[in-house]
Amino acid sequence: MLTDYHIHLRPDDLDATAAERFTSANVERYREAAEERGIAELGVSEHIHRFQQALEVWQHPFWRAYAVDDLDDYCRFVREETDLRLGIEADFVPGAEDRMANLLDARDFDYVVGSVHFLRDASVDMEDYTVWSGAHSPEDVWQRYFQTLGEAARSGLFDILAHPDLVKVWGIERPRPEGDLRRYYELAMDGIAESGIAVEVSTAGLRKGAQELYPAPAFLEMCLEAGAPVALSSDAHRPEDIGADYDAALELLQSLGVGELCVFERRARRLEPIGAGVR
Ligand SMILES: [Zn+2]
Ligand SMILES: [Zn+2]
């Protein structure tokens, strides 16, 4: 069985409204694309910052600008008008763990995708609020990113750790630290091992400056040694990207001996063989 759990029903701009995109007709376009690619298990994980309730957790100016929609309307739509698994992509906000837990526990999600998009108030992957413009060296940004990623795993708030080495998103535009990067990956490993969180293999990095899968093979190898199961996703923001580049992801998984993927239901996890659905 193939999964795509980290998908968005709309692009990230504010013009893509809930009224227009949270519709059965739009979901049907995603379903059709998934069927064509042999993906049976499809779940949606909209960004938490698109919902008003996110401001109960964090008051970042970026979130204030984007928190337009009602989270419970979204949950109701997915449950009642679609056959998609109900997920959400939630940020790790250090110091706001209790508030985030309250928001997440009050809804019947099938799974929660946990992301590190920010280091304190600075963004890892957006030009606005970017962490890269200040006096921070790549070494400093990478160290803080992977420490925070480990804390996100350890928080217990999330079922899946999203795009685990997102810090490389810009590719050659923002230089990486020199040498063997495992010294950075290591900073997240205790949190990943102790939490038992699933690690996402995401093809989105291939569509960004990074031009690579998330995570790098060496990172994934360390996660597997730490006992982490794998969740497979495209992070599609449009139907065309559902299951994009899955052949590359499946090749990596096969090379590392991964034969099973995580499937989630009401925040319970089981493993299913990748099996004959591969194409
Ligand atoms: Zn993300
Ligand atoms: Zn996403």
**Model confidence at 133: pLDDT above 90:** no
What are the tens digits of pLDDT across the range 155-176?
999 999 999 999 999 999 898 9
Sequence-distant (6+) residues with CB within 8 A of 132 are 141, 170, 174
Are the C-beta atoms of residues 195 and 226 closer than 8 Å to each other? no
Alpha helices, DSSP H only, in 60-164? 61-66, 71-81, 97-105, 138-154
CA distance linking residue 116 with residue 121, whole number of Å: 11
What are the tens digits of pLDDT across the range 197-210?
999 999 999 999 99
User: What distances in angstroms separate CA 149 from CA 87, 104, 145, 232, one per listed residue?
Assistant: 20, 19, 6, 18
Ligand 1: centre distance to CA 47 (Å): 8
Of the bound ligands, which one is closest to the alpha carbon of residue 125? 1
Ligand 1: centre distance to CA 110 (Å): 18
User: What distances in angstroms separate CA 28 from CA 22, 25, 49, 181, one per listed residue?
Assistant: 11, 5, 24, 41
Reduce the DSSP state of residue 175 to 3 states and report it: coil
What are the tens digits of pLDDT across the range 51-107?
999 999 999 999 999 999 999 999 999 999 999 999 999 999 999 999 999 999 999
Ligand 2 is an ion; residues with CB less than 5 A from it: 89, 235
Ligand 2: centre distance to CA 4 (Å): 11
Ligand 2: centre distance to CA 82 (Å): 19
Give residue 83's Cα distance to chain centre: 20
Of the bound ligands, which one is closest to the alpha carbon of residue 7? 2
Ligand 2: centre distance to CA 117 (Å): 10
Ligand 2: centre distance to CA 211 (Å): 17
